[in-house]
């Protein structure tokens, strides 16, 4: 059987219904993992077009780009946990995306594509709801009202609130009440589709010590989520990495022993600051890059994640054909 026959049979199966015991099963959607493994969901359409009704309830999707439409719908089938923590409208807002450079089509790169930030207080609430004892992850994969991507902990949100309280600052701003008392700052690039207006926030994954997923010594490799340097201090080609030493700790406390990859003082040890990195899964050799790890005190609150810069001709994540949304490095 040739490749054309395979395409023809797959197209036939997805475009027409399949009858099993007098039930008409119609293609519904595919999760992201199913799209990688050539899988999909079929659902009993019944006599009243249930599949169309289900898709309508998932949200309003842009149909101009079919691959993007499939990806957006696939997010609805990704396993997640509905948190009992309520995110009220007055406790979040949107900030700007960081853009720069241009791709081959002349469009600007979005350095902050898919990454927002949340306060330490709100991160602690989510961690408690997830049952993480004494552990507050630095990064969460989430879904909320059509927004998706990752949120990294930013101490500046708490510091801004404390500063406003100490100075008796009253700052009312429409729906958000006080812009100096926010739990979450989303970005426009995280707004993927229109979904039901719920106050709950769904957690897909969170950062934790994860063993490497390629064949290298266990003490030399890790898999991590990527987040953006909100301070703007990291320069092009630099990254910040702090990891928990004991990889067996799935919920490490703040007191757990950690290591920061950084430049050594001795010339002979400078090679220790160079980090070989790629996305998971890595498709081609061009997805592999070498970066310089540096230590910045302003980023030491971030653990078990890799922090990328917001400067340069092109995002480092894009150089590896990756992103911040559902890719690990």
Specify whether 232 is located in the same domain as 294: yes
- Residue tagged 């998932």 (tokens): 58
Q: What is the pLDDT of residue 268?
A: 42
According to DSSP, the β-strands at 274-277 and 289-293 are: antiparallel
Which domain range does residue 170 map to?
A: 81-206
According to DSSP, the β-strands at 81-86 and 200-206 are: antiparallel
pLDDT along the chain (329 residues), means of 10: 64 64 72 66 71 70 67 66 80 87 83 88 89 86 82 86 73 57 85 72 80 64 86 90 84 84 55 74 76 89 90 86 73
Specify whether 33 is located in the same domain as 68: yes
In a domain, residue 58? The reply is yes
Whether residue 261 contacts residue 273, with contact meaning beta carbons closer than 8 Å, is answered with yes
Specify whether 94 is located in the same domain as 199: yes
Q: What is the pLDDT of residue 270?
A: 44
Q: What is the pLDDT of residue 240?
A: 92
In a domain, residue 255? The reply is yes
| Final residue of a structural domain among 33, 48, 76 | 76
Specify whether 85 is located in the same domain as 54: no
Specify whether 123 is located in the same domain as 106: yes
Q: Which residues contact 268 (CB under 8 A, 6 or more apart)?
A: none
Specify whether 110 is located in the same domain as 196: yes
Q: How many domains does the chain have?
A: 3
Specify whether 15 is located in the same domain as 93: no
In a domain, residue 138? The reply is yes
CA distance 329 to 324: 10
Specify whether 86 is located in the same domain as 197: yes
In a domain, residue 243? The reply is yes
Measured in residues, the chain has a length of: 329
Q: What is the pLDDT of residue 148?
A: 82
Specify whether 104 is located in the same domain as 174: yes
Q: Which residues contact 128 (CB under 8 A, 6 or more apart)?
A: none
Longest dimension (CA), the chain: 75
Q: What is the pLDDT of residue 196?
A: 66
Q: What is the pTM of this model?
A: 0.76
In a domain, residue 211? The reply is no
Specify whether 85 is located in the same domain as 202: yes
| Final residue of a structural domain among 26, 61, 76 | 76
Specify whether 323 is located in the same domain as 231: yes
In a domain, residue 216? The reply is no
In a domain, residue 236? The reply is yes
| Final residue of a structural domain among 54, 76, 98 | 76
In a domain, residue 117? The reply is yes
Specify whether 228 is located in the same domain as 293: yes
According to DSSP, the β-strands at 147-153 and 200-206 are: unpaired
């Amino acid at each position: 059987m040739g490749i054309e026959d395979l395409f023809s049979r797959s197209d036939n199966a997805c475009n027409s219904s399949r009858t099993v015991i007098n039930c008409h099963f119609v293609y519904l959607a595919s999760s992201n993992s199913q799209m990688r493994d050539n899988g999909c969901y079929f659902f009993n359409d019944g006599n009243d077009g249930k599949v169309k009704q289900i898709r309508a309830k998932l949200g309003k999707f842009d149909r101009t780009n079919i691959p993007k439409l499939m990806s957006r719908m696939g997010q609805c089938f990704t396993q997640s946990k509905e948190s009992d923590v309520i995110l009220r409208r007055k406790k979040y807002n949107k900030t700007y995306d960081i853009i720069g450079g241009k791709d081959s089509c002349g469009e600007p790169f979005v350095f902050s594509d898919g990454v927002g930030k949340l306060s330490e207080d709100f991160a602690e609430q989510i961690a408690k709801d997830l049952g993480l004892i004494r552990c507050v992850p630095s990064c969460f994969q989430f879904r909320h009202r059509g927004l998706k991507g990752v949120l990294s902990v930013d101490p500046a949100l708490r510091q801004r609130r404390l500063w406003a309280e100490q100075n008796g600052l009253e700052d009312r701003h429409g729906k958000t009440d006080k812009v100096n008392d926010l739990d979450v700052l989303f970005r426009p690039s995280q707004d993927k589709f229109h979904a039901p207006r719920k106050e709950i926030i769904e957690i897909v994954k969170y950062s934790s010590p994860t063993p490497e997923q390629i064949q290298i010594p266990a003490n030399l490799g890790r898999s991590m989520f990527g987040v953006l340097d909100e301070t703007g201090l990291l320069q092009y080609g630099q990254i910040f990495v702090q990891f928990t030493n004991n990889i067996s700790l799935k919920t490490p406390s703040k007191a757990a022993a950690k290591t920061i990859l950084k430049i050594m003082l001795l010339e002979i040890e400078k090679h220790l600051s160079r980090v070989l990195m790629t996305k998971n899964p890595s498709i081609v050799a061009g997805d592999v890059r070498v970066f310089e790890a540096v230590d910045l005190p302003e980023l030491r609150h971030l653990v078990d994640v890799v922090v990328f810069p917001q400067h340069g001709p092109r995002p480092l994540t894009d150089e590896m054909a990756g992103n911040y949304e559902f890719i690990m490095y």
